Amino acid sequence: MSINISKQNKQQLLEKLKAIKGYLKGAEKTQETAELLSFVDEIERELKSKKYGLVFEEHREEIEELLERSTPVLKEDPALSIDHGGIVNALIEGDNLASLTALKTEYFGKVDVIYIDPPYNKGKGDFGYQDKYVGDEDAFRHSKWSSFMLKRLELAKELLCDDGVIFISIDDNEIASLRLLCDRVFGEKNRLSVHHIQVRYGNKSLNEKKDFQEVCEYVLIYAKNARLFHANKPAEEYSLDKFCYEIKETGEYTEEVIGGRNVKIFKKGAYEIVKRPIGCLGFLKATWASGSVVKGNASGKYFETYLKPRKEIDGLGTLYKVDGIGEDGLGYRYFTGPNKAEATQGLFYSGVPLARVREMAEGGSKKYRPIGNFYDFAADFGNIRHEGGVAFNSGKKPTKMLKQFIGYHPKKDALVLDFFAGSASTGHAVLDLNDEDGGNRRFIMCTSAEQNICREVAYVRLKNVIEKTKKTSLKFYTVEFEEGTK
Ligand SMILES: C[S@@+](CC[C@H](N)C(=O)[O-])C[C@H]1O[C@@H](n2cnc3c(N)ncnc32)[C@H](O)[C@@H]1O
């Protein structure tokens, strides 16, 4: 039973139950009153239980039972190792619940980046449970998937370091459950983004029977601790293009103290604003004092509070030169009030901030943009078949997309883990990214022995990539079980 109820309503119902309980306790002790009392207890428990979150049935897996009586250990297969010196990466074959448990001994709190691409639970044989594929007619299909994922996400969290980050690919089938699961495991406050990834073109649908077509998948991004993870953001050179205004004081002014600041007031005609064709240091940038600027910016706030109401006093098109505002070293800031009777907004004119001037003098100043949450990888998904030189039809992901995610982590020597590795696209992406930016990242790929994917697809792919540059090494491990638990 599950009840949606307000806190106040809940309190009132609990009071009523208390009264019924009191009455039943005082009544004659019969089997009937005993039964009624136990019903009341049950309702009380239900009312008091936490209501928000994902409710699902827990499903035991055979691997859990095996893990309860034995210890998983990683056994290297030297015949499959590739040794070119340099960084040593790992490929692990086995159920990932066992691989993750085994990795805990050495890698607890040491993994910087996790990318996973779990089965999407499409009901078409992509998700197996107890060696049987979960079909779309299975009433417990969502419970089985959530239960399977919860255990693995909890282990993943233990492996992440304090400034670590996890990326999880998913589609419409389980996005809702996964988001609630991740909010529970990593905490809602650590959710950084839900990326929307275009994976196919809308006009490519050949299935006319479908009313709706999914062109997007999602990538949930959580930090182990959002305060400690600082993503690499897209950057561009700080531009002076907009610093192209010059203000000339050409006539008389009056002086007044407004909002505690000394202000020179130039009526329309007593000043001139010249726009230069090219922006440069020494000129000014115009910013509208409107929207979020009036709340988060000192000049915006000053305009909103003190100058906006002055339209009636000073007239339209007035220029204000306000002392003591700005971080551009000028010592004053110009503002203009509205030019039309029906207008209310004004502009302020700022010079290049002194901190930027210093950075430019030291060799360059960067302006950072936030990371967006929509990316079009439709072309890359369309051309994925030959990537890595292996055929794999179960959700291969483009290395271009994976490089982007891995690159969000500022560490160029990050340890990257993928425990639903499939064809090991993530390992491939790590090696390519290192080649591109001179990084020293290393990877651990884990994938099941199912259909010999680990040896015939993941291993072959990683070997293809490694042999091209012969700069890095790979160790191949299987998960073995030792009697007893440690
Ligand atoms: C969607 S695919 C990942 C594809 C991968 N991102 C790529 O680009 O090739 C999911 C993979 O996880 C593997 N897998 C599913 N359950 C697993 C488990 N319990 N332990 C280890 N691997 C598992 C499947 O065999 C499959 O290869």
Whether 361 and 375 map to the same domain: the answer is no
- Percentage helix, strand, coil, to 5, in the chain? 35, 25, 35
| pLDDT surpasses 80 at 135 | no
126 lines ligand 1 (CB under 6 A): no
- Ligand 1 near 450 CB (within 6 A): yes
What's the structural domain count of the chain? 3
Is residue 313 domain-shared with residue 450, that is, in the same domain? no
**Does the residue 135 lie in any domain?**
yes
Determine the average pLDDT of the residues in 255-282.
96
**What was the pLDDT predicted at 1?**
37
Instruction: Write the DSSP symbol of residue 187.
Output: -
Q: Which pLDDT value is given to residue 2?
A: 44
Same domain for 381 and 257, yes or no, is no
Asked if the structure places residue 310 within a domain, the reply is yes
Look up the CATH number of the domain holding residue 179.
Answer: 3.40.50.150
Question: What span, in angstroms and rounded, lies between the C-alpha atoms of 235 and 33?
Answer: 72
Return all residues near 284 (Cβ < 8 A) that are at least 6 apart.
243, 245, 246, 247, 334, 349, 350, 351
Query: Would residue 240 count as lying in a domain?
Result: no
With a 6 Å cutoff on the Cβ, whether 217 touches ligand 1 is: no
Asked if residue 253 and residue 182 are part of one domain, the reply reads: no
Ligand 1 centroid–CA 152 distance in Å is 13
Same domain as 88, residue 113: yes
Judgement on whether residues 24 and 84 belong to the same structural domain of the protein: no
Residues 355 and 386 in one domain: no
Provide Rg for the chain, Cα atoms: 31
Residues 281, 203 share a domain = no
Residues 176 and 36 in one domain: no
Q: Is residue 239 part of a domain?
A: no
Percent of the chain with pLDDT over 90: 80
Ligand 1 centroid – CA 321 distance (Å):
65
Q: How confident is the model at residue 282 (pLDDT cuts 50, 70, 90)?
A: very high
Ligand 1 binding pocket mutation candidate from 447, 459, 460, 479 (most atoms within 8 A of CB): 447
Residue 255 lies in a domain: yes
Q: How confident is the model over 94-123, as a mean pLDDT?
A: 96
| Residue 98 reports pLDDT greater than 50 | yes
The residue among 307, 339, 367 that closes a domain is 367
Tokens 């090219």, residue?
278
Is residue 406 a part of any domain in this protein?
yes
Q: Could you tell me the residue range of the domain that residue 356 belongs to? A: 245-367
Q: Do both 226 and 83 map to the same domain?
A: yes
Looking from the CA of residue 148, the nearest atom of ligand 1 is: 19
Mapped onto helix, strand or coil, the DSSP state of residue 311 is helix
54 within some domain: no
Q: Domain end: 367, 390, 414, which one?
A: 367
pLDDT at 123 over 60: yes
The tens digit of pLDDT for each residue in 139-196 reads 778 899 999 999 999 999 999 999 999 999 999 999 999 999 999 999 999 999 999 9
Do 361 and 474 lie in a common domain? no
pLDDT at 66: 95
Give domain status of residue 479, yes or no.
yes
Query: How far apart are the CA of 119 and the centre of ligand 1, in A?
Result: 7
Q: Give the distance (Å) from ligand 1 centre to CA of residue 391.
A: 14
Claim to verify: residue 386 and residue 411 sit in the same structural domain:
yes
In this prediction the pTM is 0.80
